[in-house]
Amino acid sequence: MSSQRQPWYFLPSQPGEPAWNMALDEALMRAAPVLGRPVLRFYGWTLPAATFGFFQKIAEIERITPLRPLIRRPTGGGLVPHDADWTYSMTLPPTADWYHWRATESYRHMHQWIQGALQRLGVATELAPEKRAELPGQCFAGYEQFDLLRLGRKIAGAAQRRTREGLLIQGSLQPTPNGLTRGDWEAAMLAHATINWGVAWEPLTLPAFLEDEARRLVEMKYACTSYNARR
């Protein structure tokens, strides 16, 4: 990454319904060329739910979790339960250097960012040196190379999707036992990017066109059984 000052957006979001959370992330990816800057979004959940990867089969997911609703993500990866986890997304336009990195490199970079933020808060973690799969389809029942581990247990994973419009990374962090709050972690994420990469953060007020697109995606995709059960 360049050491020059880089303007990035930060989008603070209130807890949202599962379909809305997925729809807004996709809308941000679609709008990446218009926004013209990377956008970091933190968000929570108004009710327990589970998301699963774009290419997974719904029948397999239904067998391995009692959680409902089940929402198909716009990104890949496995099953992720959502309730008390700290969830985020990162969208990057095609003009960003990050957009052109290989998937493994962008995945590693995202988790190094989280690792650095946690280190600022006194939490030691490590990147998984290799894959260790345990249960099919479950993101936190094993780990992929470059997942974030604490004491040998996975605490952060992510999935991504790259289109002509932009790169979307969606990730989840399990809260640490050190008494840290979500706000502590979010502030450390912003500080790490500013200090290490020269990022100048600017709050993003959700534009009306982007909110409209997200609502359309809720109605047409993420709140529809026909979409979530398409495979």
Strand partners, 172: 87, 157
The predicted structure's pLDDT at residue 176: 77
Q: How confident is the model at residue 130 (pLDDT cuts 50, 70, 90)?
A: confident
CA-to-CA distance for 82 and 44, rounded, in angstroms?
Answer: 8
Determine how many CB atoms are found less than 10 A away from the CB of residue 203.
8
> What are the strands, taking DSSP E only, across the chain?
6-12, 39-43, 49-52, 70-72, 80-82, 86-92, 126-127, 148-150, 153-162, 167-173, 199-203
74 Ramachandran zone, left/alpha/beta (phi>0; psi -120 to 50): alpha
* The one catalytic residue among 92, 96, 114, 139: 139
pTM for the structure as a whole: 0.92
Handedness of CA 70, 28, 39, 3 (dihedral sign): positive
The dihedrals phi and psi of 4, each to the nearest 5 degrees, come to: -75, 160
The predicted structure's pLDDT at residue 223: 97
CA-to-CA distance for 99 and 110, rounded, in angstroms?
Answer: 12
Q: How confident is the model at residue 137 (pLDDT cuts 50, 70, 90)?
A: very low
**What percentage of the chain exceeds 90 in pLDDT?**
79
The predicted structure's pLDDT at residue 178: 77
Q: How confident is the model at residue 4 (pLDDT cuts 50, 70, 90)?
A: low
Domain 6-228 has CATH 3.30.930.10: yes
C-alpha dist (Å) from residue 92 to 34, 103, 149: 11, 13, 25
- Give the pLDDT confidence of 138-175 residue by residue, as tens digits: 555 567 889 999 998 999 999 999 999 999 999 999 88
Handedness of CA 10, 84, 109, 100 (dihedral sign): negative
Confirm whether 224 is a catalytic residue.
Answer: no
- Give the pLDDT confidence of 9-48 residue by residue, as tens digits: 999 898 999 999 999 999 999 999 999 999 999 999 999 9
- Give the pLDDT confidence of 42-96 residue by residue, as tens digits: 999 999 999 999 989 999 999 988 889 999 999 998 899 998 899 999 999 999 9
